[in-house]
Amino acid sequence: MTATTSSRRLAAAGESRRQRIADAFSRAAPGYDGAAQLQQAVADDLLARLPQPDSCRALVDIGCGTGYLVSRLAERHGGLAIGLDIAPGMLDQARRRHAGRSIHWVTGCAESMPLADGSADLMVSSLAVQWCDSLEAFLGEAARVVAPGGWLGFTTLCEGTLEELQWAWQQVDGETHVNEFLAEARLVETLRAPGWQSAEVTMTTRRTHHATPAETMRALKRIGANTMTASAASAASAGAAGGLFGRRRFDRLAQALERWREPAGIPTRYRVATVLMQRR
């Protein structure tokens, strides 16, 4: 296989993965806001930490979803406000929810933004860049789009996220069914990217609780969290549909998740990094 052929296959695989993510979030879009309390809380925390520049000609929210964060930033700052998301279904919901607001909705990828060089004074992204193929590529694109002196504030998920689910699947078949998340040390190292001043990183652990293992899995689906591999998703679907093999696997998964039960229910852990960086 030539280097060119290998590069093309990698590019095709990346495009296929991005399309699956876009499709998953588009399907989740109609009921997303009702299920995204944790995502909204993380966005609120980011909003509280963001600097307030004296002037802001333009701001952009990468992975804007239904517009929760960008709409609040548009109220805070004057100038142009842009919500960018890979999922057309999310943008359709955003347009409906914020009809009449002066926010521009753009379909695009965090690693290849359809935005001009130096066009934003503030860029934000909340719980979106963990779906990127490469955090380095996102930071490079952000450095291109954010003007010198401008700010980037984002949140992402780190190692320890979905620990309970990953452990439970290990008990079922010993395989990995949950996306790998960056270790904190690796995140800090990656943030030493060209074009940026030293980053401020805050780590927090958040938990949601659900009454049953089935509700835990449904909650992930409702927010479009494409965390499971195809084999994990098919096992859960087969269990729900009544297939014998699927039911057995899901029963074993449920038993393993029950070992984590707390008074509030079965926990789902999210290890959240909040990052602030300034463009050189």
Model-level pTM greater than 0.85? yes
Q: Who contacts 61 (Cβ-Cβ below 8 Å, separation ≥6)?
A: 67, 69, 70, 73, 81, 82, 83, 84, 123, 124, 125, 126
d(CA 165, CA 178): 8
As a whole number of Å, the CA-based R_g of the chain is: 19
Asked which of 144-148, 226-230, 274-278 is least confident by mean pLDDT, the reply is: 226-230
Note the maximum CA span of the chain: 62
Percent of the chain scoring above 70 in pLDDT: 90
- Provide the pLDDT for residue 13: 72
Tell which wins on pLDDT, 247 or 155: 155
Q: What is the pLDDT of residues 60-82, one digit of tens each?
A: 999 999 999 999 999 999 899 99
| pLDDT band of 207, cuts 50, 70, 90 | very high
| pLDDT band of 262, cuts 50, 70, 90 | very high
Q: Vertex 279, ends 206 and 75: CA angle to 5°?
A: 60
Q: What is the pLDDT of residues 33-61, one digit of tens each?
A: 999 999 999 999 999 999 988 889 999 99
pLDDT higher than threshold 50 for residue 229: no
List the domain boundaries for the chain.
Answer: 3-161+180-207+273-278
Buried/exposed 207-229: b ≥16 CB within 10 Å, e otherwise: ebebeebbebbebbbbbbbbbbe
Buried/exposed 234-260: b ≥16 CB within 10 Å, e otherwise: ebbebbeeeeeebeebbebbbebbeeb
- Provide the pLDDT for residue 115: 98
- Provide the pLDDT for residue 10: 67
Tell me the CATH architecture of domain 3-161+180-207+273-278.
Answer: 3-Layer(aba) Sandwich (3.40)
The sign of the CA dihedral 117, 121, 125, 130 is positive
Secondary structure of residue 272 in the 3-state scheme: strand
Say if CB 90 and CB 115 are below 8 A apart: no
Average pLDDT in the chain: 91
Query: What tokens appear for 238 in the block?
Result: 């087969």
Percent of the chain scoring above 90 in pLDDT: 80
Q: What is the pLDDT of residues 156-188, one digit of tens each?
A: 999 999 999 999 999 999 988 888 899 999 999
pLDDT higher than threshold 70 for residue 235: no
- Provide the pLDDT for residue 175: 87
Q: Vertex 176, ends 256 and 17: CA angle to 5°?
A: 130
